[in-house]
Structure 1
Amino acid sequence: MTAQYGPHRWSAGVHDDGRNAEHRGASFLVRDLTGARFVDCDLTGVKIVDSWLVGVELSGFVGGLSVNGVDVTAYVESELDRRHPERVQLREIRDADGFRAMWTELERLWSEATARAEALPEELRQERVDGEWSFVETLRHLVFITDSWASRTVLDDPAPFHRLALPQTAYAPADAAALGMDVDARPSYAEVTQARADRGAVVQRILDGLTDQDLGRTCSRTPAPGYPEEDRAVADCLAVVMEEECEHLRFAQRDLAALERRP
């Protein structure tokens, strides 16, 4: 096969509070933005001039990022690939066996991460580091990813969502509730790992029976209400599942390292 399955970008379930576009095209002249936080924002085309960027941290989908006239995008991507070779493995998938091998590697890496988490007390597994999702919340989000991009699309299940599934921050809470998700739930680590194991078994069953011919099959059901109404191939849906697993593993490893440094 010649197709390549790798990182994807999509948007869905945007929580529109009537102010989403109020700063589009805005100029901030001599403004103090110390400590400002931008979450799930579209910063396409943003230009920062004659400003102080000290201790700034960026994460997300990055393309065409220039710092003082130097495009650093390729450097950032290559460094991430060096630190996380599973990203390269994902991009190089060409067939059903490639997806199976990718899932095996992800299960191994997540097993290592959960072992680290289980060495911590429950309160640290529930703690957010610098405002990011806690380890438990990250696992809840991956339950949502499996429900939406594997069960609902590939398996065509119209209502697969676990009560503890946690959609992306921009997904309207009322829409999540209508699908049976309790975004305000505070489950234990044990409860979430059980849901996570159940969803992992769903992915494994799909992969066990997957053939190269299946990869091009069209999935007509959207991952969740609010996503663009368009056909998606099985391969693309599975690639999203595995990309999310890769990226959230990276975030989890980063935050686990911070929690492990606690006295």
Structure 2
Amino acid sequence: MVDIEFEDRRGSRIQHQDLRGAQFVRDRMGDAVFRDVGLQRVRMRGVELTDADIDGEIDGLTIWGVEVAPLLIAELDRRHPERSALRARTPDEVRAGYEALQRMWDATIGRVREMPPGTADVSVDGEWSFTETIRHLVLATDAWLNLAILRREQPFHPLGLLFWEAQGLEDRYGLVPLGTAVTLDEALAARADRVAQVRAHLTGLTQDELDRDAGTNPWGDGGADDSRVTVRQCLRVIFDEEWQHHRYATRDLATIATQG
């Protein structure tokens, strides 16, 4: 067996590097963390992928010749019927889907209320705390309902939390500065207001409104190449944010409970 001498870079941080086309050969990457990394068209051969945890946008991934994403989606749909909201195409389906998502969140909020004080402010592995997650859902609703669909002049609640790529731009959107202390009750009050706004909009929703062109993506740069979205697509983003961040929150709550 050939002895290989490894350069010791344990604990190093590789950030903002363009590594397209790079080759990683006989490297030790156990316990490595990949966060917001573009892995399009990556090929892995002879790898040892044991006890790995992968989360992100997965499309076209094949393992042992089998495309994985459709299998994962089918299993998630089996476990979580409320995911039907993500495929809603009629006003009645949209309204029913949103209410299913709210029941899901109500149960989890109740669970957090019963956990030890301070649980809502605990971050697991650098992820958002429960309170921060609630604040981000407020921001997502504002972006895709109040800005994208309703085109309100002042769409954002000040307690909304920007996604990480936009953090530092709080002043632009009328948000409190990053790092401002916000309690769970304050975050939930803001969320309750935004949930009421969504419900009010859905009450009179028609098929024509659902299919209406809502203009350009609210997070675009205002250029001619910005994608256009329908009202249904905007609502789908809100619903997807509700679903995905609930998954992250319950994952982290389970970790907190275990560490207890």
Structure 2 length-normalised TM = 0.85
State how 1:165-184 maps to structure 2 within 5 Å. Answer: 165-171=160-166, 173-181=167-175, 182-184=177-179
Question: For residues 221 and 72 of structure 1, what CA distance do their matches in structure 2 show?
Answer: 32
Residues 162 and 184 of structure 1: is their aligned pair in 2 closer, same or farther, counting only changes over 3 Å? same
Residues 139 and 75 of structure 1: is their aligned pair in 2 closer, same or farther, counting only changes over 3 Å? same
Question: For residues 32 and 154 of structure 2, what CA distance do their matches in structure 1 show?
Answer: 38
Runs of 4+ with >3 A deviation: 224-228
Matching of residue 22 in structure 1 with residue 18 in structure 2: yes
Query: Which residue of structure 2 lines up, in the alignment, with residue 232 of structure 1?
Result: 229
Residues 68 and 157 of structure 1: is their aligned pair in 2 closer, same or farther, counting only changes over 3 Å? same
State how 1:74-113 maps to structure 2 within 5 Å. Answer: 74-91=70-87, 93-113=88-108
State how 1:64-143 maps to structure 2 within 5 Å. Answer: 64-91=60-87, 93-143=88-138
Deviations 1:163-182 (A, max 9, x none): 221122222x2333322223
Q: Residue type of the partner of 2:170?
A: A
State how 1:216-255 maps to structure 2 within 5 Å. Answer: 216-220=211-215, 222-224=217-219, 226=221, 229-255=226-252
Helix, strand or coil: the match of 1:128? coil
Query: Contact between 2:85 and 2:98, CA under 8 Å: does it hold in 1?
Result: no
Query: Contact between 2:132 and 2:161, CA under 8 Å: does it hold in 1?
Result: yes
Question: For residues 156 and 204 of structure 2, what CA distance do their matches in structure 1 show?
Answer: 23
Residues 177 and 225 of structure 1: is their aligned pair in 2 closer, same or farther, counting only changes over 3 Å? farther
Question: For residues 130 and 224 of structure 1, what CA distance do their matches in structure 2 show?
Answer: 27
Query: Contact between 1:152 and 1:223, CA under 8 Å: does it hold in 2?
Result: yes
Residues 150 and 133 of structure 1: is their aligned pair in 2 closer, same or farther, counting only changes over 3 Å? same
Query: Contact between 1:177 and 1:183, CA under 8 Å: does it hold in 2?
Result: no
Helix, strand or coil: the match of 1:106? helix
Deviations 1:179-223 (A, max 9, x none): 222332231111111111111111111111211111122212542
User: How far does residue 138 in structure 1 lie from its aligned partner after superposition?
Assistant: 1.0
- Out of 191, 194, 218, the position equivalent to 2:189 is 194
Question: For residues 162 and 225 of structure 1, what CA distance do their matches in structure 2 show?
Answer: 20
Deviations 1:1-58 (A, max 9, x none): xxxxxxxxxxxxxxxxxx7461122111222222221222221111122222222100
Question: For residues 38 and 257 of structure 2, what CA distance do their matches in structure 1 show?
Answer: 33
Q: Greater CA radius of gyration, 1 or 2? A: 2
Query: Contact between 2:139 and 2:156, CA under 8 Å: does it hold in 1?
Result: yes
Helix, strand or coil: the match of 1:232? strand
State how 1:53-72 maps to structure 2 within 5 Å. Answer: 53-72=49-68
Matching of residue 215 in structure 1 with residue 210 in structure 2: yes
Query: Contact between 2:91 and 2:207, CA under 8 Å: does it hold in 1?
Result: yes
C-alpha RMSD over aligned residues: 2.0
Percent same amino acid among aligned pairs?
36
Deviations 1:223-251 (A, max 9, x none): 23548623211111111111111111122
Helix, strand or coil: the match of 2:169? helix
Question: For residues 100 and 259 of structure 1, what CA distance do their matches in structure 2 show?
Answer: 33
Residues 176 and 40 of structure 1: is their aligned pair in 2 closer, same or farther, counting only changes over 3 Å? farther
Matching of residue 205 in structure 1 with residue 229 in structure 2: no
Residues 89 and 237 of structure 1: is their aligned pair in 2 closer, same or farther, counting only changes over 3 Å? closer
Helix, strand or coil: the match of 1:220? strand
